């Protein structure tokens, strides 16, 4: 594929990143996504919109999130790395945001848009519940009724978040179709939207869906990468040599990556969920194990069979348990600008424990996938190099899942 | 001379008879290939003027529970788009008149390969396509290749298709225009007859094509009401629900589920046929 002049120019006016993206929605929804794209364009040019968003990001979300040098983790890597190896590991600490993950960056942007458009009802889909919690939070803050669709399987494995959403006044509707996870929740949210076209704003949580969602979610999440860039210059006087993030749909990753795409000295690595292993078929790694197709409004890499039927994803992490990926990642994968690797359930679980023990930070299972590969990557890098990883969520929501897997009788290590 | 398509011929005949057409929807391969083929073959005699044949998909975002379940039954029985074309080929051995329109979501067509699909579909005897998640904005994907292969690509218009958008939707429309009577999923609410009549008249005037209406039409009364104001009435969920109920009642004998569906089709088709005389 020909190398573009900039990796940051997309999408085109049809919402395409190369051949990926687009607007593959039912006619009923098409006028709605067109109107949203128009309103978003207007908002982008409106200084008042930016001022309002910045105000809430600072005073409500708690931005900027810190950049943190993970010193003990770095020492741990260096202890077993070859002489002169072992990059400095930094975390971008988006797990410290209000509600415990990066998701609220995007929800805040979208709910301000919903208000501009005069919409009076909010819907969302959620996997791990982080996006559901963030949506319920902003809906409560602005006094709008909110319905969150969540796969019945996820309702079961993410109980603390379900309760949190209910406390925040949202109605959580369990979805029993399919494997009852994130994909099925998204189908049901789309069915709600197609039925309630006049008053409802659909806050999509990941950088996927019909145009303008992938672009819009990316823009709202890019605050992560913009801050990290400035903070890294301040801390180290230069940019990192490698940046890493986990990928389900890919919103935290595109948020970190996008501001760095045109910095050729920065190696960029996304980490998909390999579940039980890529060769078992039980995974959620659509870039490593899927092929291009069309689902949920966009062309992207999908886990699918010969007939184009979507396969169920599997991951220990409900937030990565999705058989597709944002279209911009599909494009970055094909252009080769970003390298996509994967980590298994087991590797993520080990990294989860390692981070808690060494840094006193309990990561969400999602960034634990990135951490598993980051530790390995850092060991291969020189000691004077820098690796930055997005700690996109905290693990409070996962402690019961992990407890079930490890047993709670005594500490695992 | 270009041969007249089965859809055009059928709508011409309906216009001459001065009545609306009845278009049942069934899911290809539901509950299994053999039963589905038998049902398909019996539909014209039960009053079907054209048939909408569902292409199963794991993620039917615009369908309600009845058609979701039908798709899952078909998938479980091993239905694929390739087998759906085989079903149409078998049907065509006995019936060369009744138009068949495939209705589904884009990904199975995409996975088949668009060029190969339109060629194979045409050869199998498919007349038109309705692809829910391909709005005019994505015309280059399948509509243009389908038209080049001689397949009609049916446009959907909905209550959200406003006057400003209408020309984009109707440009290059062919076969007929499918008016979705209400904003929603299949098998739920249905539109109010007055509003549907008005929309259908506008669509017909703007496109010069026949207008069919569907979504949420479940009773003979409702079908007849719409049959007075549009060119064809599509009924899907009600037939599929009847099939599901019959399968539940007699799980070991899918063949016994055919007659209850045909019986409902005859009621609905009869009501549509008689509507304008009433």
Look at residue B251 and tell me if it is in a domain: yes
As annotated, the residues of chain A forming the CATH 3.40.50.1100 domain(s) are: 16-60+102-213, 67-100+222-406
d(CA A220, CA A255): 8
Instruction: Report the mean per-residue pLDDT for chain A.
Output: 95
Asked if the C-beta of A320 comes within 8 angstroms of chain B's C-beta atoms, the answer is: no
CB B148 within 8 A of CB B118: yes
Q: What does residue A8 show for φ and ψ, rounded to 5 degrees?
A: -110, 10
Enumerate residues 6+ apart whose C-beta is below 8 A from A363. A95, A351, A352, A355, A356, A371, A391, A393, A394, A395
Asked if B17 is an active-site residue, the reply is no
d(CA B140, CA B138): 6
Q: Tell me, what's the pLDDT at A401?
A: 87
Pick the catalytic residue from B12, B49, B59, B63: B63
d(CA B253, CA B246): 9
Q: Tell me, what's the pLDDT at A409?
A: 61
Look at residue B233 and tell me if it is in a domain: yes
CB A398 within 8 A of CB A364: yes
d(CA B94, CA A386): 71
d(CA A24, CA A210): 6
| Assigned token pair, A139 | 């809906």
Q: Tell me, what's the pLDDT at A153?
A: 87
Look at residue B276 and tell me if it is in a domain: no
pLDDT category of residue A128 using cuts at 50, 70 and 90: confident
| Assigned token pair, B187 | 């098998």
Residues of A in contact with B112 (CB under 8 A): 307-308
Which range of residues forms the domain containing residue B190?
Answer: 6-270
Q: Which of A161, A372, A4 is nearest to A174 (CA)?
A: A161
| Assigned token pair, A269 | 């690595």
- Return the CA Rg of chain A: 20
Pick A178's closest partner by Cβ from B58, B80, B133: B58
Enumerate residues 6+ apart whose C-beta is below 8 A from B105. B55, B57, B59, B60, B61, B131, B132, B133
d(CA A204, CA A209): 8
Residue with tokens 């225009």: B177
Residues of B with CB under 8 A from a CB of A: 56-64, 68, 75, 80-82, 106-112, 132-135, 137-138, 155-162, 165, 169, 180, 183-185, 188-189
Nearest CA in chain A to B136: A27
d(CA A153, CA A401): 12
The reply to whether residue A25 touches residue B135, judged by beta carbons under 8 angstroms, is yes
Q: Tell me, what's the pLDDT at A158?
A: 84
Q: Tell me, what's the pLDDT at B3?
A: 66
Pick A26's closest partner by Cβ from B59, B62, B108: B62
The reply to whether residue B80 touches residue A296, judged by beta carbons under 8 angstroms, is no
Which CATH architecture describes the domain A16-60+102-213? 3-Layer(aba) Sandwich (3.40)
Q: Is the pLDDT of residue A64 over 50?
A: yes
Chain segment A191-212, per-residue pLDDT in tens? 999 999 999 999 999 999 999 9
Q: Tell me, what's the pLDDT at B116?
A: 98
Q: What does residue B274 show for φ and ψ, rounded to 5 degrees?
A: -90, -10
CB A11 within 8 A of CB B120: no
Asked if B133 is an active-site residue, the reply is no
Which CATH number does the domain housing residue B180 bear?
3.20.20.70
Residue A239 buriedness (CB in 10 A; 0-12 / 13-18 / 19+): middle
Chain segment A142-179, per-residue pLDDT in tens? 999 999 999 998 898 788 899 999 999 999 999 998 77
Q: What does residue B154 show for φ and ψ, rounded to 5 degrees?
A: -85, 125
Chain segment A330-376, per-residue pLDDT in tens? 999 999 999 999 999 999 999 999 999 999 999 999 999 999 999 99
d(CA A257, CA A246): 11
Asked if the C-beta of A30 comes within 8 angstroms of chain B's C-beta atoms, the answer is: yes
Q: Is the pLDDT of residue A113 over 70?
A: yes
The reply to whether residue A294 touches residue B110, judged by beta carbons under 8 angstroms, is yes
Asked if the C-beta of A27 comes within 8 angstroms of chain B's C-beta atoms, the answer is: yes
Report the Cα A46 to chain-centroid distance in Å: 26
Domain count, chain B: 1
Q: Which of A228, A200, A394, A208 is nearest to A298 (CA)?
A: A208
d(CA B56, CA B39): 17
Inter-CA distances, A3 with A6, A287, A340, Å: 8, 20, 18
Burial B19-49 (b: 16+ CB within 10 A, else e): bbbbbbbbbbbbbbbebbbebbbebbebbbb
Which CATH architecture describes the domain A67-100+222-406? 3-Layer(aba) Sandwich (3.40)
Q: Tell me, what's the pLDDT at A2?
A: 65
Helical H runs in B208-250?
A: 220-227, 237-249
d(CA B59, CA B65): 12
H/E stretch holding A247: strand A242-247
| A·B CB contacts under 8 A | 114
Residues of A in contact with B64 (CB under 8 A): 191
pLDDT category of residue A408 using cuts at 50, 70 and 90: low
Q: What does residue A186 show for φ and ψ, rounded to 5 degrees?
A: -70, -40
Inter-CA distances, A23 with A32, A211, A330, B62, B141, Å: 11, 5, 16, 15, 11
Residue with tokens 């080990």: A350
Look at residue B35 and tell me if it is in a domain: yes
Chain segment A328-341, per-residue pLDDT in tens? 999 999 999 999 99
Q: Tell me, what's the pLDDT at A413?
A: 47
Q: Is the pLDDT of residue A319 over 90?
A: no
């Amino acid at each position: 594929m020909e190398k573009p002049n900039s990796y940051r120019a997309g999408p085109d006016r049809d919402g395409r990143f190369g051949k990926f993206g687009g607007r593959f929605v039912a006619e009923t929804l098409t006028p709605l996504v067109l109107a949203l794209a128009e309103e978003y364009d207007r908002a982008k040019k409106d200084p008042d919109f930016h001022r309002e968003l910045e105000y809430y990001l600072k005073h409500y979300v708690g931005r900027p999130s810190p950049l943190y040098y993970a010193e003990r983790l770095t020492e741990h890597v260096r202890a077993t790395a070859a002489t002169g190896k072992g990059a400095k590991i930094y975390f971008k600490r988006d797990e410290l945001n209000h509600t415990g993950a990066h998701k609220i960056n995007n929800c805040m942007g979208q709910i301000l848009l919903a208000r501009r458009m005069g919409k009076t009802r909010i819907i969302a889909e959620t996997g791990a519940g982080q996006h559901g919690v963030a949506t319920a939070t902003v809906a409560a803050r602005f006094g709008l009724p909110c319905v969150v669709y969540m796969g019945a399987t996820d309702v079961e494995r993410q109980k603390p978040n379900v309760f949190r959403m209910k406390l925040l006044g949202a109605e959580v509707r369990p979805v029993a179709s399919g494997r009852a996870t994130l994909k099925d929740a998204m189908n049901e949210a789309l069915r709600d939207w197609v039925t309630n076209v006049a008053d409802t704003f659909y806050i999509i949580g990941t950088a996927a869906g019909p145009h303008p969602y992938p672009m819009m979610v990316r823009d709202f999440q890019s605050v992560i990468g913009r801050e990290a860039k400035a903070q890294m210059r301040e801390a180290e006087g230069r940019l990192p040599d490698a940046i890493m993030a986990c990928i389900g749909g890919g919103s935290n990753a595109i948020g970190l990556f996008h501001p760095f795409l045109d910095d050729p000295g920065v190696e960029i690595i996304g980490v998909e969920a390999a579940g039980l292993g890529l060769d078992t078929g039980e995974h959620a790694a659509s870039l490593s194990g899927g092929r291009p197709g069309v689902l949920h409004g966009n062309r992207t890499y999908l886990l699918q069979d010969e007939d184009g039927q979507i396969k169920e994803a599997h991951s220990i992490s409900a937030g990565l348990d999705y058989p597709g990926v944002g279209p911009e990642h599909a494009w970055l994968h094909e252009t080769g600008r970003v390298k996509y690797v994967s980590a298994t359930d087991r590797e993520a679980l080990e990294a989860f424990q390692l981070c808690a023990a060494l840094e006193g930070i309990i990561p969400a299972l999602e960034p634990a996938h990135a951490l598993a590969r980051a530790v390995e990557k850092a060991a291969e890098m020189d000691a004077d190099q820098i690796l930055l990883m997005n700690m996109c969520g905290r693990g409070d929501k996962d402690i019961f899942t992990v407890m079930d897997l490890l047993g709670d009788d005594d500490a695992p290590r | 001379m270009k041969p007249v398509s089965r859809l055009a011929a059928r709508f011409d005949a309906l216009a001459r008879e001065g009545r609306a057409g009845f278009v049942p929807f069934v899911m290809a391969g539901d509950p299994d290939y053999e039963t589905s083929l038998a049902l398909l073959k019996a539909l014209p005699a039960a009053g079907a003027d054209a048939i909408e044949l569902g292409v199963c998909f794991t993620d039917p975002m615009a369908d309600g529970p009845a058609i979701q379940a039908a798709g899952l039954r078909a998938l479980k029985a091993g239905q694929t788009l390739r087998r759906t074309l085989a079903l149409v080929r078998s049907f065509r051995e006995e019936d060369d008149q009744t138009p068949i329109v495939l209705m589904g979501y884009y990904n199975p067509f995409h996975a088949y390969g668009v060029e190969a699909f339109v060629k194979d579909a045409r050869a199998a005897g498919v007349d038109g396509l309705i692809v829910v998640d391909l709005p005019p904005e994505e015309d280059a994907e399948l509509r243009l290749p389908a038209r080049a292969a001689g397949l009609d690509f049916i446009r959907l218009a909905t209550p959200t298709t406003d006057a400003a958008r209408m020309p984009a939707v109707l440009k290059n429309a062919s076969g007929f225009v499918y008016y979705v009577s209400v904003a929603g999923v299949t098998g739920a609410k249905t539109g109010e007859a007055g509003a549907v009549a008005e929309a259908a008249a506008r669509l017909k005037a703007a496109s010069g094509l026949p207008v069919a209406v569907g979504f949420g039409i479940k009773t003979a009364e409702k079908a007849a009401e719409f049959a007075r104001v549009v060119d064809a009435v599509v009924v899907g969920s009600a037939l599929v629900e009847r099939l599901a109920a019959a399968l539940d009642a007699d799980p070991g004998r899918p063949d016994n589920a055919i007659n209850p569906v045909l019986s409902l089709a005859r009621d609905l088709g009869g009501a549509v046929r008689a509507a304008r005389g009433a």
